[in-house]
């Protein structure tokens, strides 16, 4: 049939295009893959060094400082429960994936957001692109990534980085743009330089918004990392995927609980970090 | 005032215009060619005339008040004095330098060293302590930390906030925040301080107190100031000279006494109508020359009258008149009698009409 010919032609064209890209850009993609995996590997190594109870204790301490005793105890207990379920290594590798993807995303998103905050035109131009990234179903990003980077954590990371960027870009730009005009005027009246204006006036006012962006990026990364279990990311996502395939429902629920624990702990911690900053800026 | 007229001119505005809007250039050209009014500019070009043909000179050591109703262009005018707003036409000379001709760096230095500014919104940085806020101007200038904190501390003590330095702005009352704003301006030790309605959000009592403190401080430090207000009482209390603005134009400049006694038009007259003359009008404005006095009251003994100086205000003159039997006070300057204030003159002075001799109608102050 006509339509199947069209589809076949399209598929062949896509295949050969991707083949061409990975043939000619092979070295580049190998490099990207190596960087991503190296970064992830280093972080995972670091997180795997301390025994589970030490890490739980550290989280509890941080939670106690930032939020309160109740949260600290709950968080530590919940993390230790992950260890009891026998999912500690998977939990740590998911954590490493999320953190490394978020850091890489922020490395691009924060500077981009700052520039977009200064240039309304750029902001208007990248707005639709960010909308698109945020509306497409996240697993779409796994497809080109797996074609170019292959099966494994690098693919999961690449897709996660893309999904995690938009909120940080948006909220950073917003924060930089929203400096109250009277402070801009104050700066000029004092004879401020553009660089001082950024660091001494715009940035302090933008911190709460930027922190909210970081929090949202982190949460986006979480969602993606779990989905990326399907492309061999390892970690809890992979555990769920594998146990569903083998109909080991109990295990998949264990993994889901671990994911919930990790999400809640990270969310509360980063949220309260941004709120603590806000309380400094009443 | 006499010594002021010879003092160096620090700020000189020459026919300054500001027109806001997308077609402000065309509007400005049309105004220059055809002399459009504010309304015509709005209709024809959809542009707002903020300031129209303003001329003013601020001299060293002087507190110059700009008074006008909301929307009369006061904020726009004062922002052109440090070029926060660039004029559409005209020139601003600060210490004989044309602001428009300065490079970005020179303009920054001019603002940092010579022109301080205090805002109605105060604009204290909420994440900094009071001390760090007061040091902000010096920090921007790149002064080392110990030095700028020391200077800021001294400035805060001058405004009476020595005990509040480690607090955050949100812990301070509105009046105290305004003091911090003032301390921040004087810490940088500028010659000129621009104040845009700094006290209008405060309650009357605090406001009065700050007005007096501000005037005292400015005089003690030998600074010059341009002070914006929409309150004539405040302008009179603070200003050495007052400019009255209406629809972007300056319609009268003079001392409080000159404006009250000789309003340039009905608009100014309405403004000054409710102002108490008691401390404003001085003996030299209400007295009549000795010859006129003698014409009206032949044979009166000038030497027997109670005496006072030309700067005595109405309040003091009333006090003297109460103690005088003949209802007339001799005004003495440099050892000789320069004029006489009769009860009639005094009443006219209270009413705000300048001295009119009984039958000649002279002695209107120029
Ligand atoms: N950025 C701007 N764009 C357009 N019009 C402006 C702008 N700034 C001021 N104007 C207009 O210029 C005129 C003068 O405004 P300005 O703020 O100088 O008045 P003001 O005397 O300070 O009033 P207020 O006492 O309310 O502060 C007003 O009609 C105002 O609408
Ligand atoms: Mg104003």
If you take atom 4 of ligand 1, which residue's CA is the nearest one? B20
Q: Which of A266-275, B2-11, B26-35 has the lowest mean pLDDT?
A: B2-11
- Residues of chain A contacting B, Cβ within 8 Å: 180, 182-183, 185-193, 196, 200-201, 204, 280-282
Average pLDDT over residues A242-268: 88
- Which has the higher per-residue pLDDT, A282 or B166? B166
CB–CB contact A189 B111 (8 Å): yes
Number of domains observed in the structure of chain A: 1
CATH topology of domain B2-10+59-114+190-272: Rossmann fold (3.40.50)
The predicted structure's pLDDT at residue A277: 55
DSSP type of residue B265: S
CA of B72 from ligand 1 middle (Å) equals 7
CA-nearest of B89, B57, B94, B100 to B191 is: B94
Ramachandran area for residue B67 (φ above 0: left; ψ -120 to 50: alpha; else beta):
beta
Nearest residue in chain A measured CA to CA from B124:
A183
- By percentage, how much of chain B surpasses pLDDT 90? 56
Q: Which ligand is nearest to the CA of B195?
A: 2
Confidence of residue A155 (pLDDT cuts 50, 70, 90): confident
Asked whether residue A209 is domain-assigned, the answer is: yes
If you take atom 17 of ligand 1, which residue's CA is the nearest one? B75
> Rounded to a whole number, what is the distance in Å from the CA of A230 to chain B's nearest CA?
46
CA of B279 from ligand 2 middle (Å) equals 28
Confidence of residue B362 (pLDDT cuts 50, 70, 90): very low
Structure-block tokens of residue B172: 């301070």
Structure-block tokens of residue A187: 């700066």
Asked whether residue A62 is domain-assigned, the answer is: no
Strand partners, B339: B331
The predicted structure's pLDDT at residue B34: 87
User: How does pLDDT run across B107-156, given as a tens digit for each residue?
Assistant: 999 999 999 999 988 899 999 999 999 999 999 999 999 999 999 999 99
Nearest residue in chain B measured CA to CA from A180:
B123
CA of B57 from ligand 2 middle (Å) equals 20
- The ipTM of this complex is 0.84
CATH code assigned to B283-351: 3.10.580.10
CB–CB contact B123 A192 (8 Å): no
Going B323 to B328 to B332 to B335, the CA torsion angle's sign is negative
List strands edge to edge, sheet with B306-308. B306-308, B328-333, B336-342
- pTM value is 0.83
Examine the pLDDT at A2 and tell me if it is beyond 80. Answer: no
Chain A residues with CB inside 8 Å of B109's CB? Answer: 191
The predicted structure's pLDDT at residue B106: 95
* CATH 3.10.580.10 domain range(s) in chain B: 283-351
Asked whether residue A58 is domain-assigned, the answer is: no
Examine the pLDDT at B160 and tell me if it is beyond 80. Answer: yes
Q: Is the CB of B85 under 6 A from ligand 1?
A: no
- CATH number for position A252: 1.10.3720.10
CA distance A110 to A206: 12
CB–CB contact A191 B111 (8 Å): yes
Q: What range defines the domain where residue A237 resides?
A: 26-49+85-280
CA of A96 from ligand 1 middle (Å) equals 55
- Ligand 1 pocket: which of B70, B71, B247, B250 to mutate (most atoms <8 Å of CB)? B71
Average pLDDT over residues A43-47: 90
CA of B54 from ligand 2 middle (Å) equals 16
Q: Say if B139 is an interface residue toward chain A (CB within 8 Å).
A: yes
> Rounded to a whole number, what is the distance in Å from the CA of B102 to chain A's nearest CA?
13
CB–CB contact B126 A192 (8 Å): no
- Ligand 1 pocket: which of B48, B78, B235 to mutate (most atoms <8 Å of CB)? B48
Asked whether residue A63 is domain-assigned, the answer is: no
> How many other CB atoms are found less than 10 A from the CB of residue A82?
23
Confidence of residue B365 (pLDDT cuts 50, 70, 90): very low
Phi, psi for residue B83 in degrees, rounded to 5:
60, 25
Structure-block tokens of residue B266: 């009905």
A84, A89, A124, A261 from A76: Cα distances, Å? 12, 16, 44, 10
* CATH 3.40.50.300 domain range(s) in chain B: 2-10+59-114+190-272
The predicted structure's pLDDT at residue A276: 60
If you take atom 1 of ligand 1, which residue's CA is the nearest one? B20
CA distance B139 to B142: 5
Examine the pLDDT at B366 and tell me if it is beyond 50. Answer: no
- Which has the higher per-residue pLDDT, A46 or A15? A46
Confidence of residue A240 (pLDDT cuts 50, 70, 90): confident
Q: Say if B89 is an interface residue toward chain A (CB within 8 Å).
A: no
Asked whether residue A94 is domain-assigned, the answer is: yes
Asked whether residue A154 is domain-assigned, the answer is: yes
Of the CA atoms within 13 Å of residue B132, those in its CB half-sphere come to 10
Q: Is the CB of B231 under 6 A from ligand 1?
A: no
Q: What's the gap between Cα A59 and its chain centre?
A: 19
Asked whether residue A8 is domain-assigned, the answer is: no
Average pLDDT taken over every residue of chain B = 88
CA distance A240 to A87: 11
CA distance B35 to B21: 18
Average pLDDT over residues A118-143: 88
Nearest residue in chain B measured CA to CA from A276:
B127
Q: Which of A88-97, B173-182, B326-335 has the lowest mean pLDDT?
A: B326-335
The predicted structure's pLDDT at residue B227: 96
CB B52 within 8 A of CB B251: no
CB–CB contact A188 B168 (8 Å): no
- Ligand 1 pocket: which of B18, B65, B73, B232 to mutate (most atoms <8 Å of CB)? B73
Of the CA atoms within 13 Å of residue B82, those in its CB half-sphere come to 31
User: How does pLDDT run across B267-303, given as a tens digit for each residue?
Assistant: 898 888 888 888 888 888 888 888 888 888 888 888 8
Segment 171-190 of chain B within 8 Å of chain A by CB: 188
CA of B234 from ligand 1 middle (Å) equals 21
Asked whether residue A197 is domain-assigned, the answer is: yes
Q: Is residue B278 classed exposed, middle or buried when 0-12, 13-18 and 19+ CB atoms within 10 A define those classes?
A: middle
Phi, psi for residue A101 in degrees, rounded to 5:
-65, -40
């Amino acid at each position: 049939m006509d339509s199947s010919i069209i589809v076949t032609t399209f598929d062949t064209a896509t295949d050969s295009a991707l083949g061409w890209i990975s043939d000619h850009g092979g070295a580049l993609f190998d490099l990207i893959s190596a960087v991503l995996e190296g970064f992830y590997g280093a972080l995972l190594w670091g997180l795997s060094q301390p025994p589970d109870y030490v890490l739980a204790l550290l989280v509890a301490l941080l939670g106690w400082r930032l939020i309160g005793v109740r949260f600290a105890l709950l968080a530590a207990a919940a993390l230790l429960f992950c260890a009891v379920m026998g999912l500690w290594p998977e939990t740590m590798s998911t954590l490493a994936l999320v953190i490394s993807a978020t850091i890489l995303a922020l490395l691009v998103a924060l500077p981009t957001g700052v520039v977009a905050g200064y240039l309304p035109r750029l902001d208007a131009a990248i707005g639709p692109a960010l909308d698109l990234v945020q509306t497409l179903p996240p697993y779409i990003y796994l497809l080109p990534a797996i074609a170019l980077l292959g099966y494994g954590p690098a693919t999961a990371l690449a897709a996660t980085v893309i999904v995690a960027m938009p909120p940080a870009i948006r909220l950073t730009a917003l924060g930089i743009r929203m400096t109250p005009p009277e402070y801009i005027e104050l700066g000029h009246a004092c004879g401020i330089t553009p660089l001082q204006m950024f660091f001494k006036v715009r940035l302090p006012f933008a911190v709460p918004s930027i922190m909210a962006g970081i929090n949202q990026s982190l949460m986006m990364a979480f969602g993606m990392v779990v989905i990326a279990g399907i492309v061999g990311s390892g970690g809890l996502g992979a555990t769920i995927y594998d146990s569903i395939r083998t109909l080991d429902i109990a295990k998949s629920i264990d993994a889901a609980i671990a994911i919930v624990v990790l999400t809640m702990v990270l969310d509360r911690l980063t949220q309260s970090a941004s709120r603590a900053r806000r309380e400094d800026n009443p | 005032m006499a010594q002021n007229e010879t003092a160096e001119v620090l700020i000189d505005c020459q026919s300054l215009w500001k027109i806001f809007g997308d077609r402000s250039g065309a509007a400005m050209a049309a105004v220059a060619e055809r002399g459009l009014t504010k309304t015509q500019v709005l209709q024809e070009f959809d542009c707002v005339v903020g300031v129209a043909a303003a001329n003013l000179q601020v001299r060293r050591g002087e507190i110059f008040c700009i008074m006008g109703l909301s929307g009369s262009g006061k904020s726009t005018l004062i922002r052109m004095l440090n070029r926060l707003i660039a004029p559409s036409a005209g020139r601003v000379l600060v210490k004989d330098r044309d602001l428009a001709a300065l490079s970005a760096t020179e303009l920054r230095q001019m603002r940092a060293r010579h022109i301080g500014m205090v805002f109605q919104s105060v604009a204290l940085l909420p994440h900094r302590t009071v001390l760090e806020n007061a040091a902000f101007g010096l920090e921007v200038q790149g002064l080392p930390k110990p030095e700028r904190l020391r200077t800021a501390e001294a400035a805060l003590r001058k405004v009476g906030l020595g005990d509040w330095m480690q607090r955050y702005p949100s812990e301070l009352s509105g009046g105290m925040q305004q003091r911090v704003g003032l301390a921040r301006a004087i810490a940088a030790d500028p010659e000129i301080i621009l104040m845009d309605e700094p006290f209008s959000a405060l309650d009357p009592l605090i406001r009065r107190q700050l007005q007096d403190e501000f005037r005292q401080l400015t005089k003690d430090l030998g600074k010059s100031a341009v002070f914006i207000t929409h309150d004539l009482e405040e302008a009179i209390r603070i200003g050495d000279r007052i400019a009255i603005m209406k629809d972007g134009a300056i319609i009268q400049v003079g001392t409080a006494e000159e404006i009250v006694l000789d309003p340039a038009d009905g608009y100014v007259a309405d403004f000054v109508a409710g102002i108490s003359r008691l401390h404003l009008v001085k003996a030299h404005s209400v007295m009549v020359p000795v010859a006129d006095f003698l014409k009206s009251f032949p044979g009166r003994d000038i030497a027997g009258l109670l005496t006072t100086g030309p700067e005595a205000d109405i309040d003091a003159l009333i006090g003297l008149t109460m103690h005088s039997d003949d209802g007339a006070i001799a005004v003495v300057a440099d050892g000789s009698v320069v004029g006489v204030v009769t009860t009639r003159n005094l009443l006219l002075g209270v009413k705000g009409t300048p001295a009119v001799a009984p039958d000649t109608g002279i002695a209107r102050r120029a």
